[in-house]
Amino acid sequence: MRTHIWQGMTEEDCEMHYKGLVFDFDYTLGDSTDGIVICVNHALNQLGYAQAKRDLICRTIGLHLQEVYQVMVKAQGKEEKLGEEEEFSRLFIEKADRVMTENTLFFPGVLESLGQWKEQGYKLGIVTTKYR
């Protein structure tokens, strides 16, 4: 009997073909949208820009922080300033160290599934642009 265990994969698929499983984090294992919104707007405010709307920030999730900065500045009709990409990244990370964990949630069933796969001997990995 084929039991679906993760987005179309079956136990049979794993047993026959896979020794390891690699996942992206955001929108696959969990959701850190609230933390990302807080951190982007913190960095923008510290640099003198207006806060960005949640939906714009959401469209940048998965990009490198320098790219997020570029999108946010362009959306406000401003010109990028030399050195600001690095400062935006520093401010984002500084805030993330304080708020990201409490504003990140795993999707239902993810931790249980990861635990089961680990017990079954699968190597597990996460590929992400996150710094921590």
Confidence of residue 9 (pLDDT cuts 50, 70, 90): low
Q: What is the pLDDT of residues 62-101, one digit of tens each?
A: 899 999 999 999 999 999 999 999 999 999 999 999 999 9
| DSSP-assigned letter for residue 26 | B
| DSSP-assigned letter for residue 52 | P
What pLDDT, on the 0 to 100 scale, is given for residue 112?
95
What pLDDT, on the 0 to 100 scale, is given for residue 4?
44
For residue 105, CA distances in Å to 9, 31, 41, 63, 108 come to 23, 5, 20, 20, 9
Q: What is the pLDDT of residues 99-126, one digit of tens each?
A: 999 999 999 999 999 999 999 999 999 8
| DSSP-assigned letter for residue 37 | H
Assess whether pLDDT exceeds 90 at residue 39: yes
